[in-house]
Structure 1
């Protein structure tokens, strides 16, 4: 497998799942700030110019949730995802879709109108309503998590990778308070996993090698 990514982006989610699964993989850093994502050869892998992208043989995947699910299904012994056709799998996929479509989108809207969009395309007026929407979705997540260790119970899954990454983006990247002790404890619990530390080390190492070569 070959992962194309950039440190401190959604590609960390994929590297995390790969480390949890115990898989070997190649990692190529894409310098997003320099516009490398919109240039060949990467633009031929993902026309949106975004990371991550995973290449596995003839297969190219470009959405972090889909990539995580694909990896977890390839290594069922890692226990990162329930079996297809079970009620647990249905709930797992529900939380993956919730993470991508409900919980993350207000944060991404804030990011776009803070730094991602060109200055003339930013609309600061949307920021308060986006923060309000994120906090509303936090309540949904808190209710779903309850007193469980992970979102499905005692099994750590790809859904937890997505949720944990989003919560950390909110607290560290956007300096937001989750407003719920159980959610913060869940975030810290998942962020403390050794596989995540390995993923971050791998990304930092590859970025350093790229910088030295330039």
Structure 2
């Protein structure tokens, strides 16, 4: 059984969603970033943290990749062209969607007041919208990013869609909105929401 540290309003949600999709056993320890509970398993205080085989693993995307590889689900085999395409989606979402959202959050409430530049958020929202359009262009015809098979980047993209909604980012791409709505309708997503 895995242990997951982190609150649902962080990237911990992604890890829990992956575990629910996998049907893997876990215990969830609610721990705010930089709390004593978080620092006990990660001296940097960042969440999520997954304890697997007595080892503390950090960074949501690394954790999800580990889980997908270990359980042989929601991923393509290493060395395959499909895996290269999947990794391309993962990196694009991390670099373009997640990065814009995280930078906006930093300039809203994370950084000290004197280090925040609120004006940067307009540019980040523009970048996010442009990146969503590109993601949908790459998606193709299937219900998931890679076609008919759900993979790790689907969880990342849908999580970013949720985050964008909460952060009042523009969500004008109807194909993306419909995609996120489909992902939110999954039973595993609903089970994680119920943990709140």
With the length of structure 2 as denominator, give the TM-score of the two structures.
Answer: 0.93
CA distance in 2, matches of 1:84, 1:61: 20
Which 4+ stretches in 1 moved above 3 angstroms? Answer: none
CA distance in 2, matches of 1:8, 1:114: 15
Task: Specify the alignment match of 1:46 in structure 2.
Answer: 42
- Structure with more relative contact order (C-alpha pairs < 8 Å, separation 6 or more): 1
Task: Specify the alignment match of 1:212 in structure 2.
Answer: none
Equivalent residues in 2 for 1:18-33, closer than 5 Å: 18-32=19-33
CA distance in 2, matches of 1:4, 1:74: 20
Contact 2:125 2:170 survives alignment (8 Å): no
Matched, 1:16 2:17: yes
Matched, 1:137 2:138: no
Matched, 1:186 2:182: no
Q: 1:174 aligns with which of 167, 174, 177?
A: 167
Matched, 1:195 2:188: yes
Unaligned stretches of 5+ in structure 1?
A: 205-214
Task: Specify the alignment match of 1:119 in structure 2.
Answer: 113
**Count of residues paired in the alignment:** 195
With the length of structure 1 as denominator, give the TM-score of the two structures.
Answer: 0.86
Q: What does the per-residue CA deviation read over 1:138-167, in whole Å, with 9 as the maximum and x for residues that have no partner?
A: 121011113321000011111100010001
Unaligned stretches of 5+ in structure 2?
A: none
Q: CA RMSD in A?
A: 1.5
Task: Specify the alignment match of 2:54 in structure 1.
Answer: 58
Q: CA deviation at 1:175?
A: 1.9
Contact 2:17 2:189 survives alignment (8 Å): yes
CA distance in 1, matches of 2:43, 2:87: 26
